[in-house]
Amino acid sequence: MAAAGGAWSWLTADRRRGWALFGALTAIGVALIVIGEFTGWDWLRLIGIALISLGGFGLGVLAGFSPAGLRGVLGRLRAVRLPLAVVVALVIGLPAVVALLGALDGAAGRALALLGVAIAVLLAAAALFATVMALRALRLAWGGVEQGADSSTEKVGEGP
Amino acid sequence: MIPTRQILWNIDAAGVIALYALLVVPIAFVTYGLARRVRMWRLGKPENRFDRLGSRIWGALRLSIYHGRIVRKPNYAAGLMHAAIFGGFVTLFIGTLIVLFQADITVPYFDYRFYHGDFYLGYKLAMNLAGLLLILGVLFAFVRRYHDRPVWLANSPDDVVLLAFLLVLVVQGFTLQALRLAVTQDPWGPWSFVSYPMALALRGLPVGWLRGIHAVNWWVHFLTTYVFLSYLVYSKMIHVFTSLANVTFRRLKPLGELEPIPNLEEAESFGIGKLADFTWAQLMNADACMHCGRCLQYCPTFNTGKVLRPRDLVLEVAGFMADSGGIFSGELGQEETPGRFRWGRGPDRALIPDVVSPEELWECTTCAACMQQCPVAIEHVPMIVGMRRNLVLEQGEFPPELVNTFNNLERFSSPYAFPPRERDKWTDKLEQPVPRVAEQAAAGQEVEVLFFVGCLGSFDARNQRTTLALARILQTAGINFAILGKDETCCGDPARRIGNDYLAQMLAQQTVETLNEASFKKIVTACPHCFNALLNEYPQIGGNYEVIHHSQLISQLLAEGRLKLDPNSAVARGKVTYHDPCYLGRYNGVFEEPRDVVEALPGADLVEMRRNRKTSFCCGGGGGRLFMEETTGSRINQARVREAIDTGAEVLCAACPFCMTMFEDGIRGVGAEETFQVRDMAELVAASLATPVAAQAGPAAEGEE
């Protein structure tokens, strides 16, 4: 415990040390994954995952406990959040929808395939619905709601 | 042929490398978000929440696995919805880990494979069931939010985005499975009962197209998972971490025990006036809220259209914390941050009145319906009382009508302007004398039961009738009892709940000194507020007593046959409804004894109000509200009286002088004086006694001695 505390103090005394250390761990981890993949040494993968996880954890904690946090990174993300969110919403939903609509090809098949078509259509509809709802929510969040307003709870009188 | 499948089928080296290398992104994002929050919680005052770790962990497991605080009255459907989403998500997550466990650990290191045969088939079945469960849960959630939305549930964009994420993730998973099965045509495909029919439908398509679209979907699926995980702690999904932490580090003390301000004489600040005045656990509380709104379901202020909504108050504090250097520090905090309430108004605000308004704070009746209902054990009442303390003791700001209450408490040790010598004047109306503890001690007589009358029972004309009735019952049953008389002082409950802890501590100390000098076996009181203070808060200052409420004592006396009721009594014939006082029921778990008493009344037919027991509805008088004006929304006491009248009863049985006062006023308010009455259970029992007091009391009392 004391050793961990000491190591943490050493890292946070000069945060550049921490960034360098955890950044290096991540980079080594990625390198091991790459080597493992091309050499067939699958055992390297676990070590790579461990280093990448440790690196990510350390970077997150280091940034999280710094006074300024990730002000710059989050600021840049924030500046592009609306287009980013719309693109993400579309990208994550559409490939599945396209694949599922491909199942319509089986509509002329046997009964179980017809069931498959029905399931695919339902899932595609659900994914489309979810995407539309998410886009609507994003529009409301960044376009249609007055700052700080509680968008959808109305005052009620006598209770339920 | 052994049933199994190739892990990472159809995925090239670039995909595998990306899958593992990009892991750093969600891990760093999640850790950053959590660290940012922990950093803020550490700004709070220290508080030991690390005792009884076994109970704490057990409570957290009960919450997460058993869903005990989530699936319960009246939220069975919503609770099951959550259980479906939670169960589906966790099962799929564990399923993914199992696959990786073989691929990255058991095969490379031990050349051991378990992902085949019966295990594999069972796994496929379980994963399909889990996915289906998750989809059904999410669809139910959408319907609940957009079709049958309860009034206490608020929709934020964050809620919708999260549900969409979950739904799309599962659809992606099923799609991937169907595409693979369409190509590999596994003979054990039917075990994947959702994907298999889709695979049959897809089989007619060219294999190249199927492989191509599978690869695209795989990339999108894993990137979606990483984006979702990265978003997790910046959304209300943070509750997967914070609710567990909050339940683990919850208060294990009695619900009715408020912490006193320590070292009051030397304190430099009082109560909660800024973020750093909260304890770390209270700051964590704020971040644990997931906006479910259950705290509002039985909240008297929300249900009567007042400003205070416990959920919003907690979220306001959470938002202020985020603005003040939590997740979105500095300039980013100046901007609006949608998804939660009232975020982004910047850190340059005073906690009171800019973040939380005094109006909200003064509206609270401290009934604890919010705390009782909260699935993640958020402690609203201590926060509210803490902020009231700051208003009263540091800022000197409180509703003007409390000036008299404070003056009276200081001068007369009672909220009423009666001198202490008049405290036992009610005894003049009794047929038999009531001994005083001091007199008994002087005479060398032992006292079995100390009757702690309370201020309302002593001075308020309406509640004196309850006091007289209880005294008659005690005399009839031959109980050896005595009162403190003029030595009795206010227990301190109203002052403590109002936030004047200085006065509360003074009164409590005074009472404890008196009680510790007296000799008795147990205390009985007709006031749940005194009951709670004596039972739960006096041990803080060395007052450890056996305390019972008069409903418990009467129930016991009836059960033992020491009280006989006249079967022809017409006092409570017909329907009688019982109101659970918050400080008796919800705070101290006394629900059944009062009902036993009502059921024992000759000819009485106990009918329950819709909101009863733990989910009872406050009378509006707790938390010092009895001494304040109610100017916003509709009146709480009238709402409860209407609910009582709706049962068809003609008598509302009360067991608390605060409730009695509120209901008498409420009955007048709804114009039902002619047809409906409120009576304390002691009054009903005393009026139904079979034998006159004088005839029974003499020999029985002698027998006791």
Average pLDDT, integer, range B615-638: 96
Tens of pLDDT, residue by residue over B323-354, are 786 555 333 333 443 334 445 567 788 999 98
Average pLDDT, integer, range B489-501: 97
Average pLDDT, integer, range B372-401: 96
Per-window interface: B 240-259 vs A, CB < 8 A: none
pLDDT of residue B699: 39
Round to the nearest angstrom and report the end-to-end CA distance of chain B: 89
Question: Which residues, listed in sequence order, are joined to residue B577 by a DSSP beta bridge?
Answer: B607, B652
Classify residue B443 as exposed, middle or buried by CB count within 10 Å of its CB (0-12, 13-18, 19+).
Answer: exposed
Average pLDDT, integer, range B373-385: 96
- Chain B contact probe: residue of A70, A73, A77, A145 with most B CBs at under 10 A: A70
* Partners of residue A126 in chain B, C-beta under 8 Å: 135, 139, 167, 171
Give the tokens for residue B387: 């902020």
- Chain B contact probe: residue of A11, A121, A133, A145 with most B CBs at under 10 A: A133
Nearest CB neighbour to B31, from listed A33, A64, A127: A64
- Of residues B562 and A140, more confidence is placed in B562
pLDDT of residue B340: 40
Percentage above 70 pLDDT, chain B: 95
The answer to whether the CB of B583 falls within 8 A of the CB of B656 is yes
Q: Give the DSSP H/E element, type plus range, for residue B211.
A: helix B207-232
* Partners of residue A75 in chain B, C-beta under 8 Å: 331-332
* Partners of residue B207 in chain A, C-beta under 8 Å: none
Can you give the pTM of this predicted structure?
0.89
Tens of pLDDT, residue by residue over A98-147, are 888 888 877 776 778 888 888 989 998 988 888 888 888 777 666 544 33
Question: Which amino acid would we find at residue B8?
Answer: L
3-class state of residue B143 by DSSP: helix
Percentage above 90 pLDDT, chain B: 81
The ipTM estimated for the assembled molecules is 0.86
Give the tokens for residue B547: 């305390």
Average pLDDT, integer, range B490-512: 97
Tens of pLDDT, residue by residue over B214-261, are 999 999 999 999 999 998 888 888 899 999 999 999 999 999 999 999
Average pLDDT, integer, range B185-201: 95
pLDDT of residue B693: 52
- Of residues A124 and A75, more confidence is placed in A124
* Partners of residue A61 in chain B, C-beta under 8 Å: 31-32, 35
pLDDT of residue B291: 86
pLDDT of residue B700: 38
**Residue in A with minimal Cα distance to B195:** A116
Pick the range with the lowest mean pLDDT from A123-137, B246-260, B545-559, B599-613.
A123-137
Q: How far apart are alpha carbons B420 and A160 in whole angstroms? A: 44
How high does pLDDT run on average in chain A?
A: 80
Distance of CA B636 to the CA centre of its chain: 19
Q: How far apart are alpha carbons B667 and B652 in whole angstroms? A: 10
Nearest CB neighbour to A148, from listed B26, B157, B345: B345
**Residue in A with minimal Cα distance to B163:** A130
pLDDT of residue B339: 34
Contact B341 A150 (CB under 8 A): yes
Tens of pLDDT, residue by residue over B299-324, are 999 999 999 999 989 988 988 888 78
Question: Which residues, listed in sequence order, are joined to residue B4 by a DSSP beta bridge?
Answer: B116
- The angle at the Cα of B699, spanning B693 to B702, to the nearest 5 degrees, equals 115
